[in-house]
């Protein structure tokens, strides 16, 4: 899933989409947990760049591994909401 920041300068993405599909198509993800990445968006010149300083590894959660698949800004943009 993805979520664009409200200023349009950061795109957050997770490696999990839907747990039933993850179990069927990505069994390693179930065992190892998902991750969240930040992609910096160059709104002036165009282009995307993975931010090497931002990584959330949900496989290392105390009660994990966990699957994180949806990101939301409360009261904000819902670019990840595909189930409308």
Mean pLDDT by groups of 10 residues along the chain of 84 residues: 85 89 92 95 96 95 88 61 50
Q: Quick one: which H or E segment has residue 20?
A: helix 19-25
Smallest CA-to-CA distance from 81 within 39, 73, 56, 48 is with 73
Residue 78 to residue 9: CA distance in whole angstroms: 15
pTM here?
0.78
């Amino acid at each position: 899933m993805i979520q664009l920041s409200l200023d349009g300068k950061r795109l957050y993405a997770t490696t999990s989409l839907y747990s039933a599909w993850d179990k069927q198509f990505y069994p390693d993800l179930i065992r190892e947990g998902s991750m969240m990445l930040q992609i910096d968006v160059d709104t002036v010149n165009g282009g995307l760049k993975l931010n090497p300083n931002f990584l959330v590894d949900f496989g290392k959660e105390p009660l994990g591994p966990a699957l994180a698949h949806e990101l939301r800004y409360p009261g904000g943009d819902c670019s990840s909401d595909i189930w409308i």
